[in-house]
Structure 1
């Protein structure tokens, strides 16, 4: 499964309103999970089995919750049993079509 998610505090104690520290804590959890992942400006995508992906998301929520009492979490999943390596393969298929 691929799961794209965005997690962010609803409040910030930073003078400029930045949520970067809390978001970085969540990204650190994802990277330390060992699962294939990619972070962009809007979402982090992680690939793995349902149980392991959802466990990572839970740990991310816990990491952000250490910094704020209110969290926003948005998730979008591509659940396709028996397929792995889709984090890059899906994009490679599109690029191949664009290059032809």
Structure 2
């Protein structure tokens, strides 16, 4: 299972960098394969472990404000692992084949 999520506090002021850093720390400490970009964090694992990490990351952000915004997208494909990198590799191959 791949999950891309974005979590941010509401009511915490203009910058949310510290709150997001707390969430990303939870993800990285989980030991699950992950990647963070400017707008989303992606994580890969089994349903229960991924959702537990998302919940804990959301809780960490919640300590920075009175409300939390969570956006989550999941790719649920049983029997497939390593897709965090494999999906990107397939895309890059397809683009290269066009050239």
Q: Please, what TM-score do these two structures have when normalized by structure 2?
A: 0.95
Name the residue aligned to 1:72.
69
| Counterpart Cα distance in 1 of 2:26 and 2:5 | 13
Aligned pairs for 1:77-92 within 5 A: 77-92=74-89
User: Is residue 2:2 matched to residue 1:2?
Assistant: yes
Q: Which runs of 5 or more structure 1 residues have no equivalent in the other structure?
A: none
Report how many aligned residue pairs link the two structures. Answer: 97
* Map of 1:25 onto structure 2: 22
Q: Which runs of 5+ in 2 are unaligned?
A: none
Per-residue CA deviations over 1:8-31 (Å, capped at 9, x if unaligned) read: 011124xxx101000000000000
User: How does the TM-score come out when normalised to structure 1?
Assistant: 0.94
Rounded to whole Å, the distance in 2 between the matches of 1:65 and 1:75 is 16
Q: Structure 1 CA distance, aligned partners of 2:94 and 2:55?
A: 37
Please report how far the alpha carbon of residue 99 of structure 1 lies from its aligned counterpart in structure 2 after TM superposition. 1.1
CA RMSD of aligned residues (A): 0.7
Matches within 5 A, 1:33-72: 33-72=30-69
